[in-house]
Protein backbone atom coordinates (compact mmCIF):
# COMPACT_ATOMS: atom_id res chain seq x y z
CA UNK A 1 0.00 0.00 0.00
CA UNK A 2 1.44 3.34 -1.04
CA UNK A 3 0.39 6.98 -1.31
CA UNK A 4 2.71 9.06 -3.48
CA UNK A 5 2.20 12.81 -3.60
CA UNK A 6 3.05 15.38 -6.21
CA UNK A 7 6.07 17.61 -5.84
CA UNK A 8 6.48 20.90 -4.08
CA UNK A 9 5.00 24.10 -5.40
CA UNK A 10 5.77 27.79 -5.10
CA UNK A 11 2.79 30.08 -5.52
CA UNK A 12 2.08 33.79 -5.28
CA UNK A 13 -0.52 35.18 -2.89
CA UNK A 14 -3.99 34.93 -4.37
CA UNK A 15 -3.14 31.95 -6.55
CA UNK A 16 -4.42 28.38 -6.32
CA UNK A 17 -2.54 25.13 -5.84
CA UNK A 18 -3.29 21.49 -6.56
CA UNK A 19 -1.68 18.66 -4.64
CA UNK A 20 -2.21 15.13 -5.96
CA UNK A 21 -2.04 11.82 -4.12
CA UNK A 22 -1.61 8.69 -6.24
CA UNK A 23 -2.56 5.49 -4.45
CA UNK A 24 -1.60 1.88 -5.09
CA UNK A 25 -1.75 -1.52 -3.46
CA UNK A 26 -5.36 -1.43 -2.34
CA UNK A 27 -8.88 -1.01 -3.68
CA UNK A 28 -9.26 2.74 -4.17
CA UNK A 29 -13.04 2.62 -4.06
CA UNK A 30 -13.07 1.02 -0.63
CA UNK A 31 -11.40 3.95 1.10
CA UNK A 32 -11.27 7.72 1.14
CA UNK A 33 -8.42 10.19 1.40
CA UNK A 34 -8.00 12.74 4.13
CA UNK A 35 -5.79 15.84 3.97
CA UNK A 36 -3.67 17.21 6.81
CA UNK A 37 -1.28 20.13 6.71
CA UNK A 38 1.65 21.24 8.83
CA UNK A 39 2.98 24.79 8.81
CA UNK A 40 6.74 25.17 9.36
CA UNK A 41 7.64 24.22 12.92
CA UNK A 42 3.98 23.74 13.84
CA UNK A 43 1.59 20.89 14.59
CA UNK A 44 -0.82 18.96 12.42
CA UNK A 45 -4.10 20.42 11.16
CA UNK A 46 -6.94 18.38 9.69
CA UNK A 47 -8.46 19.83 6.51
CA UNK A 48 -11.07 17.33 5.30
CA UNK A 49 -11.65 14.08 3.44
CA UNK A 50 -13.11 12.84 0.18
CA UNK A 51 -14.28 9.44 -0.98
CA UNK A 52 -14.27 7.63 -4.30
CA UNK A 53 -17.86 8.67 -5.04
CA UNK A 54 -17.26 12.38 -4.51
CA UNK A 55 -18.56 12.67 -0.97
CA UNK A 56 -16.58 15.15 1.11
CA UNK A 57 -16.32 16.56 4.61
CA UNK A 58 -14.46 19.85 4.89
CA UNK A 59 -13.25 21.60 8.04
CA UNK A 60 -15.24 24.79 8.38
CA UNK A 61 -12.21 27.07 8.25
CA UNK A 62 -11.50 25.85 4.71
CA UNK A 63 -15.05 26.00 3.36
CA UNK A 64 -15.17 27.91 0.11
CA UNK A 65 -11.41 27.60 -0.47
CA UNK A 66 -10.79 23.86 -0.43
CA UNK A 67 -11.92 21.38 -3.05
CA UNK A 68 -11.15 17.69 -2.73
CA UNK A 69 -11.75 15.32 -5.61
CA UNK A 70 -10.96 11.76 -6.58
CA UNK A 71 -10.22 10.14 -9.93
CA UNK A 72 -11.08 6.46 -9.77
CA UNK A 73 -9.59 5.79 -13.22
CA UNK A 74 -6.12 6.63 -11.89
CA UNK A 75 -6.70 5.90 -8.18
CA UNK A 76 -5.65 9.46 -7.45
CA UNK A 77 -7.00 12.08 -5.06
CA UNK A 78 -6.57 15.80 -5.57
CA UNK A 79 -6.67 18.73 -3.19
CA UNK A 80 -7.20 22.23 -4.60
CA UNK A 81 -6.74 25.23 -2.34
CA UNK A 82 -7.45 28.70 -3.69
CA UNK A 83 -6.92 32.32 -2.60
CA UNK A 84 -3.58 31.40 -1.07
CA UNK A 85 -1.89 33.58 1.54
CA UNK A 86 1.45 33.21 3.31
CA UNK A 87 -0.43 31.44 6.12
CA UNK A 88 -1.03 28.54 3.72
CA UNK A 89 2.69 27.81 3.48
CA UNK A 90 2.90 24.28 4.80
CA UNK A 91 3.60 20.65 4.06
CA UNK A 92 0.39 19.02 2.88
CA UNK A 93 -0.15 15.33 3.57
CA UNK A 94 -2.69 12.88 2.24
CA UNK A 95 -3.62 9.80 4.24
CA UNK A 96 -5.98 6.89 3.80
CA UNK A 97 -9.30 6.95 5.62
CA UNK A 98 -12.38 4.75 5.81
CA UNK A 99 -15.79 6.07 6.80
CA UNK A 100 -19.39 4.91 6.64
CA UNK A 101 -20.79 6.96 3.77
CA UNK A 102 -24.29 7.24 5.24
CA UNK A 103 -23.35 8.42 8.75
CA UNK A 104 -19.78 9.63 8.13
CA UNK A 105 -18.76 7.68 11.22
CA UNK A 106 -15.16 6.58 11.11
CA UNK A 107 -13.97 3.05 10.48
CA UNK A 108 -10.28 3.85 10.16
CA UNK A 109 -8.27 7.06 10.11
CA UNK A 110 -4.91 7.83 8.54
CA UNK A 111 -3.27 4.42 8.71
CA UNK A 112 -1.13 5.10 5.63
CA UNK A 113 0.35 8.50 4.72
CA UNK A 114 1.87 10.12 1.70
CA UNK A 115 5.34 11.61 1.90
CA UNK A 116 4.09 15.19 1.99
CA UNK A 117 4.14 18.08 -0.48
CA UNK A 118 5.61 21.47 0.45
CA UNK A 119 3.55 24.42 -0.73
CA UNK A 120 5.27 27.77 -0.38
CA UNK A 121 3.28 30.96 -0.82
CA UNK A 122 5.48 33.96 -1.41
CA UNK A 123 5.44 37.12 -3.45
Partner 1 sequence: DIQMTQSPSSLSASIGDTVTITCRASQGIREALGWYQQQPGKAPRRLIYSASSLQSGAPVRFRGIGSGTEFTLIINNLQPEDLATYYCLQYRSYPWTFGQGTRLEIK
3, 20, 22, 103 from 96: Cα distances, Å: 8, 13, 11, 18
Query: Which residues sit opposite 21 in a β-bridge?
Result: 5, 77
Interacting residues of 24 by C-beta distance below 8 A, sequence separation 6+: 1, 2, 4, 75
For partner 1, the binding residue among 72, 74, 83, 108 (CB under 8 A) is: 108
Quick check: 26 binds partner 1 (CB under 8 A)?
A: no
Binding mask 86-105 for partner 1 (x = CB under 8 A): -------x-x--------x-
> What is the CA 99 to chain-centroid distance, rounded?
16
In the complex with partner 1, which residue's Cβ is closer, 3 or 84?
Answer: 3
Quick check: 66 binds partner 1 (CB under 8 A)?
A: no
In the complex with partner 1, which residue's Cβ is closer, 28 or 49?
Answer: 49
Quick check: 30 binds partner 1 (CB under 8 A)?
A: no
In the complex with partner 1, which residue's Cβ is closer, 13 or 54?
Answer: 54
Amino acid sequence: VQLVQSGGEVKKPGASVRVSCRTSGYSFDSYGITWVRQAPGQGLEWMGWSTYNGQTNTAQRFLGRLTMTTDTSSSTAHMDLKSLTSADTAVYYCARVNVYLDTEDVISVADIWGQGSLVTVSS
